[in-house]
Amino acid sequence: MYEQIERIPADKLVSLQEKRLKKIINYAYSNVGLYKKKFKEAGLRPDDIRNIDDLAKLPFTTKDDLRNNYPFGMLAVPMKDVIRLHTSSGTTGNPIVLAYTRRDLENWAKLTARCLSVIGVTKNDVFQNMIGYHMFTGGLGYHYGAELLNATVVPAGSGNTKRQIKMLKDFKVTAVHAIPSYMFHIADLCSEMNIDPIRDLYLKKGIFGAEPWSNTTRERLETIFGIDAYDNYGLSEMSGPGVAVECEYKDGLHLWSDYFLAEVIDPISGERLEDGKKGELVLTTLCKEAMPILRYRTRDITILTNEECSCGRRHPRISRLLGRTDDMIVVRGTNIFPSQIEDVLLKIPGIRDNYQIIIDRDVMDELTIKVEVTKDIFNDEPFSLLNLKNRAENELKTVLNLKTTVELVEPQTISGETEKTKRIVDLRLV
Ligand code: DLL
């Protein structure tokens, strides 16, 4: 359905991007006070930005810019043209408000439809959307995309897991969308309900994202449910989900660059990095009407490549997210990313993918890692828990070069049914 735009020749894609870039630059400058001010401060006129290279002259937009303009300071259209509002999740103080015109919502649905069609969802699928509706963009974002593909949509939302499982079974659901950690909760309750996810359900594919997850988690999900599991990326500031998705090669996520212009920068110097270098993802919306955003610092760390993918789609790929610039923790002078800890933990049988890193300060910084283990291990002899704890602590020490305390907890102790897991709790900041 979206073959033509997905496989657009590289030169045509660049000229489409540049045409849209010039338009959005003028549009943002003329309609959003913040951009007029930023251009002035940088001594720039909209005509100075003619191509993707020129874009590097423009100052960045940050989360604080959006927060400081709460609630409607970033709008480029009158309120009467705004037909939906969402807000960003999980922040203290003012949230970020996201506004959409009718065309924004149509474009957003096309983008999530494109993601679903890449993972093979068609009108023959029954698609259960097991993610928060309401103010979070995950639910409604995929809802309209799946309807656009004429799939049968089950707008299940999050929570109420036993009922979700009954629907998965009774409605012969073939495709799901969820936060990855939620699927393990589904698996636990399936076993309580004597339902074998492979024998008794009909699932074939799933699209997962909104929080970091690893290839090990993918393998586990694919084995437990007998599905193909695909990663997808998005953020409220760019509308929500629908920014990038994995194809059948599962080797990076195609970023829909007819809608979003991607750059990767050095998070410290702000310099643009070349293809294949790890850095912070910066995105520019090319088509948004209600809230155009130029050079947005996502804080997400990734690698961008324009190398052609074996699938033939021409849009560049970002690697699975490698962390966030604001997630790096410094413990006793050592820089640590949660993904390093996750890599160690998930290779140990019996440990599930839910963990939380707690940093506290007594005399020195202390690092405690709370991690969920499978139910059978928890009910086992006390020494198997102790063995697991020792093994995890030793392996973490080898990789991090730092002593940690591992606390093993029962399934579902760390994350709720509906929320993204809070990976880092820094009590030094309290
Ligand atoms: O999480 C949008 C979304 C909904 C994406 C459903 C995918 C599926 P926010 O709540 O604004 O929006 O959070 C955005 O979540 O900057 C990343 O740090 C993180 N994130 C999103 N997708 C992934 C992913 C939605 N696939 C923030 N892997 C982003 C890792 C992800 N982190």
Which domain covers residue 365, as residue numbers?
Answer: 329-429
CATH number assigned to the domain comprising residue 13: 3.40.50.12780
Residues 390, 337 share a domain: yes
Number of domains, the chain: 3
In a mutational test of the pocket of ligand 1, which residue from 108, 235, 250, 255 has the highest number of ligand atoms less than 8 Å from its CB? 235
311 occurs within a structural domain: yes
Pull the structure tokens for residue 95: 């949230």
Pocket around ligand 1 at a 6 A CB cut-off? 88-89, 131, 137-138, 209-212, 231-236, 240-241, 298, 300, 321, 324
357: left (phi over 0), alpha (psi -120 to 50) or beta: beta
How do residues 251-300 score in pLDDT, each as one tens digit? 999 999 999 999 999 999 999 999 999 999 999 999 999 999 999 999 99
Angle CA(339)–CA(158)–CA(146) in degrees, nearest 5?
95
- Lowest mean pLDDT, pick from 257-261, 321-325, 334-338, 405-409: 334-338
The per-residue pLDDT for range 338-385, each reduced to its tens digit, is 888 988 998 898 898 889 999 888 777 889 999 999 888 877 777 788
131 touches 138 (CB < 8 A): yes
Measuring from atom 15 of ligand 1, which residue has the nearest CA?
Answer: 210
pTM of this prediction? 0.88
Q: Tell me if 291 is assigned to some domain.
A: yes
Same domain, 81 and 121: no
Distance 235 CA to ligand 1 centre (A): 5
Q: For residue 6, what pLDDT is reported?
A: 94
Q: Is the dihedral of CA 110, 116, 117, 118 positive or negative?
A: positive
Q: Ligand 1 center to residue 209 CA distance, Å?
A: 6
Residue nearest atom 9 in ligand 1 by C-alpha distance? 235
Q: Are residues 157 and 52 in the same domain?
A: no
Please tell me whether residues 417 and 340 are part of one structural domain: yes
